[in-house]
Amino acid sequence: MPNLEFTIAPEDSGERLDRALSRLLPDSSRTFLQKLIKDGLISCDDKILDVPRFPVQSGMKIRIDMPELQLPAPPAPENFDFPIIYEDDVMLVINKPAGVVVHPAAGNPTGTVLNAILGRYPSLAAGLSVNSRPGIVHRLDKDTSGCLVIAKTPEAQFHLGRAFANREVAKTYLALVRGVPRRPSGEIVTLIGRHPVNRQKMAVVERNGKNAITSYNVVGSGVMNNIEFSLVKVKIATGRTHQIRVHMSHLGYPVLGDQLYGGTRSSVEGIERQLLHAWKLELPHPSDQRKCMFKSEIPDDFKNILNFLPVKNISELN
């Protein structure tokens, strides 16, 4: 990868260096970033910053000298078979199906979006850094479908990653939730952190969490198998793990089909996953910063339940 440079945003002033870097390079692990710092590869105005807890200040110009390292066992290229929403020389947007993991992890070493990307663009497999995930600039949960943007060059990956980190990307989801929210719209602002008992879950916490902001609008409500449910349009200003699922469950209206956060599947026949869809994505193009907007087709399992709602044509939504 090339040397990278960026300016610390006002909202990150006073933040630890390693945490600020994790926002700007969301596809690199904290361990990897701390190693870069301790190895003297992070600098500001030619001064080496080698302490992870160093407090950064607004306006600081940070330089990262990325090492050229090889992965010991890079992901294997596989066939690419995803619906393409948009593609140009530097960027690809796909409609990720439910059930597909974005990148290899424990329990999912193959069959991921990243494996397919390497199959479609073999050049991305050259010169991989130890902790990098070529092309990946953001994630969707395994069972969440919808818009996923992929970078086709290291430069595009950096610029897109920075846009996500700096909250320059607008993300709109559609969710089918259990029940009918008392308020037709609202904003949820909490801290989200690891659940104190079940470490596989996230939860709304009082301390030791990250700020999470979710806004929602109820589009319509209906009844299926004697169960009330609603279609909700959701926008997130932050990108915390399981954020929408946690926040809607916190309100008392869990995403339908989400066993982990209370929207049980057994009570509604035919639901095989949490019914959450990344519907719309708006972001600056990595080459010239022009505004781009993409929408993804609603999957069939989602459409089947929409038949029980007064809203029939999702394309009419803004």
Query: Which positions are annotated as active-site residues?
Result: 141
Instruction: Look up residue 66 and give its two tokens.
Output: 């990325």
**Count of alpha carbons within 13 angstroms of residue 219, beta-carbon side:** 21
In DSSP terms, 236 is beta-bridged to 171, 214
Phi then psi for residue 199, to 5 deg, are -75, -5
H helices present in the chain, as ranges: 17-24, 30-38, 113-120, 154-165, 243-251, 300-306
Q: What is the DSSP string of 138-197?
A: ----TT-EEEEEEESSHHHHHHHHHHHHTT--EEEEEEEEES--SSSEEEEEEEEEE-SS
Q: How many residues in total does the chain contain? A: 318
Using CA atoms, how far apart are residues 145 and 272, in angstroms rounded to an integer? 13
